[in-house]
């Protein structure tokens, strides 16, 4: 009996002790839950108010000697930043160790120099320069011809520029008579310049245009003598001028067409007609000189000078000499072909006529 009672008493004591231990455990658990709930409420308030209110912990886990548990939003951010810094440091250490193993002689660089991008060093391949002369415009090409093209003294001697001034004769001065002749060479030097006597009575001296006065032609050269001297100068030479048809008519002379360079009839120096665009009209000499050469001649209110006009015509020819001469060569070739073809046709015609007569 005694043994049984002892066993029962031991069991009851163990049960009561177990109940006491369980109750202590449950109380500790409940206390932890309360602390967690208070911390969550304080963190929520801090997030809503921008972190002004700090969580209230009367009795923190650190005061009790227990390890702290980070549950706040800021603590999570710090953990993330710490993790990122640790990973960055590990990656830097690994890269530095790899660089050290690959190139043991090089020293490790500071962190700011490692992260900065080094500029790529490369050299642009130099290409050979191209010749852009073909891309130049018509005006620039013509200007280079004048500056670059060389011409011998013999070729220069073949070119002269002619210009004449007229006065009005007849009723109302409508007809023109020769009053002055001027000839210049390739360089613009005067070869021949004289006033000419007029046999008919002058009704209009046209001084505001021609610059000729009564005293100028009173002691001038005779017309026949002037004409012969001009012929001698122009023989076998290329004549340059503006509207040379009028000058030849006043001198009562002719010249081979392939030895005439008339700036009023050159296609590139002409303008299109407003009424008929297909028709080309001549420009004035002063307009061409200003547009092509930048020269000011025949200004308003001033008398014209035949030497100045002849020099301007020569400079215009120099500007377009190469293309002009190619055009003349092409015309001469076509003319020769036409002449030979006509000669063959006439020969065949006369031969056929002779055969018919003989039969």
CATH number of the domain enclosing 222: 3.30.420.10
Q: Which two tokens stand for residue 1?
A: 């009996």
- 157 pLDDT band, cuts 50/70/90, is very high
Q: How far apart are CA 329 and CA 338, in angstroms?
A: 14
- Give the position of tokens 């002691």: 219
Cα 242 to chain centroid, rounded: 36
Long-range contacts of 259-267 (CB under 8 A, 24+ apart): 261/317, 261/324, 263/288, 263/313, 263/316, 263/317, 266/320, 266/324, 267/327
Beta bridge partners of 180: 165, 195
Residue 197 in any domain: the answer is: yes
- pLDDT given at position 32: 79
> Does the structure show a pLDDT above 60 at 7?
no
Compute the average pLDDT of residues 328-343.
93
Between vectors from CA 334 to CA 332 and to CA 335, what angle results, nearest 5°?
60
Averaged pLDDT score across all residues of the chain: 77
Residue 353 in any domain: the answer is: no
- pLDDT given at position 278: 87
Q: Which residues contact 216 (CB under 8 A, 6 or more apart)?
A: 179, 180, 195
Beta bridge partners of 184: 161, 190
Compute the average pLDDT of residues 259-270.
95
- 208 pLDDT band, cuts 50/70/90, is confident
Which one has a higher pLDDT value, 325 or 118? 325
Q: Which two tokens stand for residue 13?
A: 């004591």
Which one has a higher pLDDT value, 79 or 304? 304
Beta bridge partners of 239: 160, 260
**By percentage, how much of the chain surpasses pLDDT 70?**
62
- Give the position of tokens 């602390």: 35
CA distance from start to end of the chain:
185
- 186 pLDDT band, cuts 50/70/90, is very high
- pLDDT given at position 63: 47
In the chain, which residue ranges form alpha helices assigned H by DSSP?
2-48, 73-102, 111-115, 138-148, 153-157, 207-210, 214-218, 223-234, 244-251, 285-288, 306-319, 321-358
Q: How far apart are CA 339 and CA 333, in angstroms?
A: 10
- 5 pLDDT band, cuts 50/70/90, is low
Q: Of 187, 139, 144, 145, whose CA–CA distance to 292 is shortest?
A: 139
Q: What is the pLDDT of residues 30-72, one digit of tens each?
A: 887 777 776 666 666 665 555 444 444 444 444 444 444 444 4
Our count of domains for the chain comes to 1
- 79 pLDDT band, cuts 50/70/90, is low
- pLDDT given at position 354: 82
Q: How far apart are CA 328 and CA 337, in angstroms?
A: 14
Q: How far apart are CA 137 and CA 157, in angstroms?
A: 30
Residue 327 in any domain: the answer is: yes
- pLDDT given at position 154: 92
Which one has a higher pLDDT value, 345 or 93? 345
> Does the structure show a pLDDT above 50 at 328?
yes
Compute the average pLDDT of residues 324-353.
92
Q: What is the pLDDT of residues 86-137, one digit of tens each?
A: 555 555 554 544 444 444 444 455 555 445 455 555 555 566 666 555 444 4
Residue 40 in any domain: the answer is: no
> Does the structure show a pLDDT above 50 at 318?
yes
Report residue 155: phi and psi, to 5°.
-70, -35
- 299 pLDDT band, cuts 50/70/90, is confident
Which range, 65-74, 187-196, 301-310, 344-353, is most confident? 187-196
Q: How far apart are CA 183 and CA 188, in angstroms?
A: 9
Residue 172 in any domain: the answer is: yes
Residue 286 in any domain: the answer is: yes
Residue 229 in any domain: the answer is: yes
Compute the average pLDDT of residues 147-164.
86
Ranking 33-42, 176-185, 321-330 by mean pLDDT, the lowest is 33-42
Domain with 325 in it: 154-342
Q: How far apart are CA 243 and CA 137, in angstroms?
A: 27
Residue 268 in any domain: the answer is: yes
């Amino acid at each position: 009996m005694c043994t049984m009672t002892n066993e029962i008493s031991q069991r009851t004591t163990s049960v009561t002790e177990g109940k006491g231990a369980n109750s202590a455990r449950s109380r500790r658990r409940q206390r932890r839950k309360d602390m967690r709930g208070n911390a969550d409420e304080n963190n929520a308030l801090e997030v809503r108010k921008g972190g002004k209110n700090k969580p209230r912990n009367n009795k923190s886990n650190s005061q009790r000697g227990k390890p702290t548990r980070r549950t706040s939003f800021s603590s999570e951010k710090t953990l993330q930043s710490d993790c990122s810094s640790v990973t960055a440091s590990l990656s830097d250490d690994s890269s530095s160790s790899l660089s050290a193993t690959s190139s043991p002689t090089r020293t490790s660089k500071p962190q700011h120099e490692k992260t900065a991008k080094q500029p790529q060093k490369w050299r642009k391949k130099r290409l050979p320069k191209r010749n852009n002369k073909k891309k130049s415009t018509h005006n620039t090409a013509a200007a280079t011809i004048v500056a670059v093209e060389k011409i011998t003294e013999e070729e220069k001697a073949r070119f002269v520029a002619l210009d004449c001034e007229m006065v009005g004769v007849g009723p109302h001065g409508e007809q023109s008579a020769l009053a002055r002749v001027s000839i210049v060479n390739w360089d613009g030097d005067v070869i021949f310049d004289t006033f000419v006597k007029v046999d008919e009575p002058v009704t209009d001296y046209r001084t505001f245009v021609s610059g000729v006065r009564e005293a100028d032609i009173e002691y001038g050269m005779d017309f026949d003598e002037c004409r012969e001297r001009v012929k001698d100068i122009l023989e076998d030479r290329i004549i340059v001028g503006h509207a040379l048809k009028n000058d030849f008519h006043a001198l009562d002379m002719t010249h081979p067409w392939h030895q005439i360079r008339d700036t009023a009839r050159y296609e590139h120096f002409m303008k299109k007609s407003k009424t008929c665009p297909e028709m080309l009209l001549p420009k004035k000499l002063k307009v061409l000189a200003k547009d092509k050469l930048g020269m000011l001649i025949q200004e308003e209110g001033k008398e014209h000078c035949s030497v100045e006009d002849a020099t301007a015509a020569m400079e215009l020819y120099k500007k377009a000499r190469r293309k002009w001469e190619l055009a003349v060569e092409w015309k001469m070739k076509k003319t020769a072909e036409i002449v030979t073809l006509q000669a063959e046709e006439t020969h065949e015609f006369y031969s056929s006529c002779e055969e018919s007569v003989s039969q």
